[in-house]
Amino acid sequence: MQWLGRRESSNVDDRRGVTGGPLAVGGGIIGVIFLLAKFLLGGGETSDLQQVFPQEQQQEMTAEQKAADDKRASYVKVVLADTEDVWDKIFNDMGKQYQKPTLVLFRGSTTSGCGGASSQSGPFYCPADNDVYIDLSFAEELQTRFGASGDFPLAYVIAHEVGHHVQSLLGLSNKMQRLRSEVTETEYNRYSVKMELQADFYAGLWAHYNQKMKNVMEQKDIEEALNAASAIGDDNITKGRVSPDAFTHGTSAQRMYWFKKGFETGDVKQGNTFEAGDL
Ligand SMILES: [Zn+2]
């Protein structure tokens, strides 16, 4: 995707320096205060501390790593700006007003309206505070762990999380919340898969409009997105260790199918994964 020099969203809460990374000293001081507080409050266990400040994030980044990280942050901000423009238009067409989410960039760990977040939790959307959370080290993980090459998989992941925000604005997240206490776990997982596949559809829809409105997409972007959707499918991640009943995001084939459907149709009404039977 052509992104250099394009508008960066200002709805970004950049916390990368707060808990380590390039500002390890700051993290260190907060860490000491945290330790002191734990001490004074009598909580002697160190496990919480490790959870909040895992070992890895205490490492300082080299200048080269920091430059790469900043470049990635800019990329994320451009993608977020693109999602704002696209969803503004789609909501407008539906006679509704799009409320923009805030994207929290962090490294290592941070807090969210949905509890603590760490690099292990992966990117996520928190309906309680309407924020998208992403640790940029996930971008590296996409390449090293999932083999999803290129820069577009990161855009796909952000568009997917923004898709969850759209679901929240349209009232679906609340419905899911209610279902959690009403249905069995297997049934709930089935609904969860439908939510996830719809977020994939919305990511594809975003890519469609991004091309239509801005003409910035390249052919390899869609290939990279499909490749990433395949790489992070439940069946691929669990490699048969988990039964399909426990799937919460959908198989590789399903994820690719719904992203592609959003991209090809460009029709928000085609994204009803809930009515799509067996998917
Ligand atoms: Zn998701």
pLDDT at 19: 52
249 alpha carbon – ligand 1 mean position (Å): 7
pLDDT at 208: 97
pLDDT at 36: 39
pLDDT at 210: 97
pLDDT at 83: 98
Q: Is 31 within 8 Å of 54 (Cβ atoms)? A: no
162 alpha carbon – ligand 1 mean position (Å): 9
**CA quadruple 94, 83, 139, 136: dihedral, nearest 10:** -110
32 alpha carbon – ligand 1 mean position (Å): 35
170 alpha carbon – ligand 1 mean position (Å): 16
Q: Which amino acid is at 272?
A: N
125 alpha carbon – ligand 1 mean position (Å): 8
Q: pLDDT per position in the chain (279 positions), as tens?
A: 999 999 999 999 999 987 543 333 333 444 444 433 333 343 333 233 333 444 444 568 899 989 999 999 999 999 999 999 999 999 999 999 999 999 999 988 899 998 988 887 788 999 999 999 999 888 888 888 888 888 899 999 999 999 999 999 999 988 888 998 999 999 998 899 999 999 999 999 999 999 999 999 998 999 999 998 888 887 777 766 667 777 888 899 999 999 999 999 999 999 999 887 655
**Residue 111, helix vs strand vs coil:** strand
Specify the DSSP class assigned to residue 45.
Answer: -
> How far apart are alpha carbons 24 and 30 in whole angstroms?
10
26 alpha carbon – ligand 1 mean position (Å): 32
| Beta strands per DSSP E along the chain | 12-14, 102-106, 109-112, 115-118, 124-126, 131-135
96 alpha carbon – ligand 1 mean position (Å): 23
pLDDT at 269: 94
pLDDT at 46: 29
196 alpha carbon – ligand 1 mean position (Å): 5
60 alpha carbon – ligand 1 mean position (Å): 30
Q: Which of 66, 279, 81, 96 is nearest to 191 (CA)?
A: 279
**CA quadruple 25, 29, 35, 38: dihedral, nearest 10:** -140
Biggest distance spanned by C-alpha atoms of the chain:
59
